[in-house]
Amino acid sequence: MLHGAVDILGIGAGALTLAAFGTAPTAESPWLPETWDLYTAPKVALVAVAYLVVTRVLLWYVHAPRTGALPTVTRTALVRQGLLGIALLGIAPLICVVAISLPILLPLFAIPLVALDSTLWIARARAEEQLRDPLTGLPNRQWLLERTWTALDDAERIGARSALMLIDMDRFRSVNDTLGHLAGDRLLLQIADRLRLALPRGAEAARLGGDEFAVLLPIADSTTSATRVARQLVAALGSPLDLDGLTLVLEASAGLAVFPDHALDAEGLLRRADVAMYQAKRDRTGVEVYESKRDSNTPDRLGLLGDLRRALDAGDVELHYQPKVRFDGKVAASRPWCGGCTPSAGRCRRTSSSPSPSPPASCRTSRSTSWSRPSARWPSGRRRA
């Protein structure tokens, strides 16, 4: 019914365009192709343009979200309708000629049109599948990024905040290991349903993969209000779940990032929410808001890891031993750490004003990587006490 109404309005727009040239066909006096001449081509072209413009604008207005942007599925649907309309307009003169000469052949035009429409329907279905999680039916990461970009544009236009939170279920892997992946999938379905029911008005949820979910607040009053929503969702997901007669209690951890306080783009907001989520899992606090001072995942750290690897291979790293002396003056133990890792990080030296120097950033980085293991077998020539 919708597309029929749109087509009627499009035909009306074409008729008005034709009337502007002084041509007004009726049932009693139709506009027959035998009366066309060279000057008829511009009229037909303008009528076709008027039809396409009116029908596409109306369909865009109906299908487009009120946030002001077109999602992938809507764009695919509009492309489908546009291609079908162009195909109809392209064969319209031939249909007119056949209708006058051999009307019995008109049904043959339905075969290519049905094939074209079916092909475009399949393309639209595939576009929808690409934006949906096949297990829970929730939108996936691609949809989340598109929707977040739209939300950030709207929030920037009206001077508001937008919040993105990532939620991860603690100890979910133990359920998979104990009960199997099929039981884990059924549990994920329950979690997704519970998340849908707990969403506040205007919020949108997505599944990123595994037991990780995301919730977008297109408009957030403040960081405090967004944190309150995150705590409510964590509490809802942390209530007992029934699975095959077993009562399971899975705690959830959530990380929150707010636009424009923490990031100005969708990818940055997602990454910072992920950092905050792992901070919440590590500290077992339930909900954490992103803080830049606690974010160790920086480009400088990545560069430092590369410098450290090159320094280890080139033999430019020295192993230092910092003694631990008891009150009676005897050495009880020693703490090893590297020195002179990279030119940018600086060499660790013992000075009179700093009897217990702190290791530089490169030394702290080596402790958090697997590269600290080779230092246990350090050549004696590069050891320093």
Q: What is the pLDDT of residues 219-274, one digit of tens each?
A: 988 899 999 999 999 999 888 888 878 888 888 899 999 999 888 898 999 999 99
pLDDT at 60: 66
Per mean pLDDT, which range of 3-17, 298-312, 344-358 is the poorest? 344-358
Q: Mean pLDDT throughout 67-87?
A: 59
Q: What is the length of the chain?
A: 385
pLDDT at 261: 86
pLDDT at 228: 93
Residue 366 has pLDDT above 80, yes or no: no
Q: Are 290 and 262 in contact (CB under 8 A)?
A: yes
Residue 346 has pLDDT above 60, yes or no: no
> Domain residue spans in the chain?
2-130, 141-294, 299-384
Tell me the C-alpha distance between 51 and 39, whole Å.
20
pLDDT at 68: 44
* Sheet bearing 318-325, strands edge to edge: 331-339, 318-325, 383-384
User: Which among 257, 176, 164 has a CA at the least distance from the CA of 210?
Assistant: 176
Per mean pLDDT, which range of 24-38, 48-62, 223-237, 332-346 is the poorest? 332-346
Give 99's DSSP letter: H
Q: Mean pLDDT throughout 144-170?
A: 90
Task: Give me the percent of the chain exceeding a pLDDT of 90.
Answer: 13
381 to 318, 338, 367: CA distances (angstroms): 9, 14, 22
Q: Are 285 and 167 in contact (CB under 8 A)?
A: no
Q: Match 């001072």 to its residue by tokens.
A: 293
Residue 341 has pLDDT above 70, yes or no: no
pLDDT at 255: 92
User: Which among 4, 14, 145, 126 has a CA at the least distance from the CA of 76?
Assistant: 126
Tell me the C-alpha distance between 174 and 178, whole Å.
6
pLDDT grade for 316, boundaries at 50, 70 and 90: low
* Fold entry, domain 141-294: Alpha-Beta Plaits (3.30.70)
Average pLDDT value for the chain: 76
Residue 375 has pLDDT above 60, yes or no: no
pLDDT grade for 334, boundaries at 50, 70 and 90: confident
pTM: 0.58
Q: Mean pLDDT throughout 279-297?
A: 83
What are the residues whose beta carbons fall under 8 Å from the beta carbon of 249, sequence distance 6 or more? Answer: 238, 239, 240, 241
Residue 356 has pLDDT above 50, yes or no: no
Residue 71 has pLDDT above 60, yes or no: no
pLDDT grade for 69, boundaries at 50, 70 and 90: very low
Per mean pLDDT, which range of 249-258, 281-290, 304-313, 363-372 is the poorest? 363-372
pLDDT at 1: 63
